Chains A and B, each alone.
Chain A
Amino acid sequence: MNMQTAPRASHPAGKPEVGQPHTRNESACHDLSIRVRDLNLWYGESQALKGLDIDIFQKNVTALIGPSGCGKSTFLRCLNRMNDLIPGVRIRGLVEMDGRDVNAAKMDEVALRRRVGMVFQKPNPFPKSIYENVAYAPRMHDMVSRKPEQDDLVEKALRDAGLWEEVKDKLQQPGTSLSGGQQQRLCIARAIAVQPDVILMDEPTSALDPISTATIEDLMDKLKSQFTIITVTHNMQQAARVADYTAFFHLGEIIEYNDTKTMFSNPATRKAEDYITGRYG
């Protein structure tokens, strides 16, 4: 690999120091959300992530791109410890959020997942009504105590997910009765209803048609005022459209991490350039 870029990969190359306003997007706030240092992950004997360093900034969209099998989804799942569910996974290294090591034994992964929500590649609404899909988690988390409060929260989440107008008359119908794009927005509504700090999106549009994809992309742009969004995508145009920062993964390493504009106009590494220009992928 390109040894020169590796130590610098944790910071967007040539960007202002942490905590300073971003020149390109004034509204964005640049507090650190997640700090990752020397993160390694093995599936059994094979190493899938190799010494990752990266800083994720609050209330921005960070896109992870790279050829398939490069570890970007695996990395994403490290951030809310979904990899715990896979037997034989070993993780070494630091993932720090809110001053705490996410992988520490003391860390309650359930509490972590409440603050780090996730939207999956394929929409996976629960076999419940649209209303229940959204209300389920807040109710379990004791975020609402009375029915009207719950109604309000469901409506707000569905509105934020841009789904309210389409479903307000059929809240009691099963979530699975919606179209694919609607289902995915329902899953986003479900995730934002618990008011997490971070939302992880694992190729959220790869199973959707172009129109639904555009809707979700708009949604991500809106949601970043409230949430830190990290999205994995195969689609480089999408990364260019929605992301503030972009990290390029290759064979379990972060080859380049930069603000999106630089990444796509003037990549610092040859590999990233080749990938972005479509020489492999």
Chain B
Amino acid sequence: MPNHPLLLFLVAVLVLGILAFLVARAKALRVRASGTAMYAQPDQYAWFAALSTAGPALLVSGVGGFLLLLLGAEIPLPWLLAGSLVVAAAGATLGLRLVTPDFHARQAIERVIRFILAGAALISIFTTFGILLSIISEALRFFRMHGFWEFITGTVWAPGNSFLAAAGRADDAASAARFGSVPLFAGTFMITAIAMLVAIPVGLMAAIYMSEFAPRRVRTLAKPVLEVLAGIPTVVYGFFAAITVAPLVVSVAGSLGLNASFNNALAPGIVMGIMIIPFISSLSDDVINAVPDSMRQGSLALGMTRGETIRHVVVPAAMPGIISASLLAVSRALGETMIVVMAAGMRPNLTANPLEEMTTVTVRIVAALTGDLEFESAETLSAFALGLVLFAVTLSLNLVSVIMIRRFREKYRVNNL
């Protein structure tokens, strides 16, 4: 670990920066004391000097370090740091040289700050690209081992002994590993569908009550209370699904003469639905509230009942927003991990019976990446392939959702959605 020289370097840059700051300020004060009118305050010259000292040096060392790691460039660390210090010294000289009456230190600082802020804003872009790049590159390695087509259309997911193959003992792997993701996606969609069957009706109706019928006090109280449901960590829901709901489903199914697995899809589906209720209800409530009152009055003035007004005018008007909320909810359900890891099964199973055990994409991602990692094995890499599909599906759902809400917003000129 290059902890020591790095620390030393940072201290050196800091000291240089402070020195530049003090010297520049002294110089500026002297110039001003001599009666010359200056463009900026002494402190601003000082800040500029400090920035011009530390900024380029940190930039050079950062880029250098990145090259070192990324391209494996052969730059010895001490040399890099020494070089950066030279840059710092040069920066300090420049900063001090520029302490002159007609230098616009304030604008210069402003430009630097704008640059730094824009840099911070870029981090979110980097994150997206980071996710995309890391997932795609590993997924490509996977597809080189196992075909893309097999992955998309295959109905058998049996990673089996693929780690042996990775260890160069392919012969020991009794049966060839097979990576057909269809059963995983089937399980994911099944559980998502169950969740939506719970969340959309309950969430939408609750939103209708809150925005159309409830007295204001009830609404201001009920909404945050419902949102508590969304704030409960998913690991807690997972425990609830596995320990409380799944046995309940089994016993209810048993009393109906049906045979249910303890890892059935119904329990995680229902619990996921409960978790998602506030997503639907809060967003729908906002959207329904944003429907202009003139719509309601127009309908009521035609002799419609309250219920008809809601069903035929308000809800259709809010539909883009409601669909948008539902899509976001679907996206969330597809990517939900802990509930299914804890309550759904591990065994890939292509079935339409929600009482049977089935597994999901996220469960297999977790299964592939926990325990002893062998980064070369197909099973580990398969997690990234699954992640890639998950990313693509949720991204498109989110984009459609954003477009729909934007359309709604433009239609009624609401800004707070």
Contact = CB atoms under 8 A, between A and B. Distances in A.
A–B direct contact (CB < 8 Å): yes
Interface of A: 80, 82, 85, 87, 110-115, 117-118, 120, 122, 124-128, 136-137, 140-141, 176, 187, 190-191, 194
Contact of B301 (A111, A118, A125): A118
A104 B134 CA distance: 71
Given A126-B317, A140-B308, A120 B303 contact: no
A202 B301 CA distance: 12
A80 B301 CA distance: 8
Contacts of B297: 82, 85, 118, 120, 124
Contacts of B313: 126-127
Interface string B284-314: 0000000010111111111111001000110
A207 to B, nearest CB: 11
Nearest to A133: B298
A191 B300 contact: no
Interface string B356-397: 000000000000000000000000000000000000000000
B297, B313, B316 interface centre (most CB from chain A within 10 Å): B297
A137 B316 contact: no
B144 interface: no
A128 B315 CA distance: 12
What are the nearest 5 A-B pairs in CB distance? Answer: A114-B303, A118-B301, A124-B294, A137-B302, A113-B303
Given A127-B317, A136-B312, A141 B295 contact: no
Interface in B160-211: none
Nearest to B300: A113
Nearest to B303: A114
Contacts of A82: 297, 300-301
B298 A124 contact: yes
Contacts of A140: 304, 308, 312
Nearest to A190: B302
Contact of B298 (A111, A115, A120, A141): A120
A125 B301 CA distance: 12
Given A85-B300, A137-B302, A140-B308, 8 more contacts: A85-B297, A115-B303, A126-B299, A126-B317, A127-B295, A127-B316, A127-B317, A140-B312
A80 B415 CA distance: 32
B4 interface: no
Contact of A122 (B294, B300, B304, B305): B294
Contacts, number: 66
Contacts of B301: 80, 82, 113, 117-118, 120, 191
A65 B300 CA distance: 25
Contacts of A118: 297, 301
Contacts of A111: 303
A127 B299 CA distance: 12
A136 B317 CA distance: 14
- Interface range, B side: 20 to 34
Contacts of B305: 110
Interface string B264-301: 00000000000000000000000000001011111111
10 contacts: A82-B300, A87-B216, A111-B303, A113-B300, A124-B292, A127-B411, A136-B302, A136-B312, A137-B302, A137-B303
Contacts of A120: 294, 297-298, 301
Contacts of A113: 300-303
Nearest to A113: B303
A46 to B, nearest CB: 20
A110 B302 CA distance: 8
A126 B298 contact: yes
B265 to A, nearest CB: 38
Contacts of B303: 110-115, 117, 137, 141, 194
Contact of A110 (B294, B304, B316): B304
B302 A117 contact: yes
Which of A114, A127, A128, A187 is the most central at the interface, judged by chain B CB atoms within 10 Å of its CB?
A: A127
Contacts of A127: 295, 313, 316-317, 411
A117 B312 CA distance: 18
Contacts of A191: 301-302
A187 B298 CA distance: 8
A137 B317 CA distance: 16
Nearest to A119: B301
B298 A194 contact: no
Contacts of B304: 110, 137, 140
- Of listed B294, B301, B303, B316, residue having the most chain A CB within 10 A: B301
A147 B67 CA distance: 74
A124 B412 CA distance: 11
A118 B317 CA distance: 20
B310 to A, nearest CB: 13
Contacts of A126: 295, 298-299, 313, 316-317
Nearest to A126: B313
A88 B368 CA distance: 62
A126 B411 CA distance: 12
A187 B96 CA distance: 73
B126 to A, nearest CB: 41
Nearest to A128: B316
Interface in B291-350: 292, 294-305, 308, 312-313, 316-317
Interface centre among B294, B295, B296, B317 (most CB of A within 10 A): B294
A176 B216 CA distance: 31
A114 B305 CA distance: 10
Nearest to A139: B312
A126 B294 CA distance: 9
A107 to B, nearest CB: 13
A272 B304 CA distance: 38
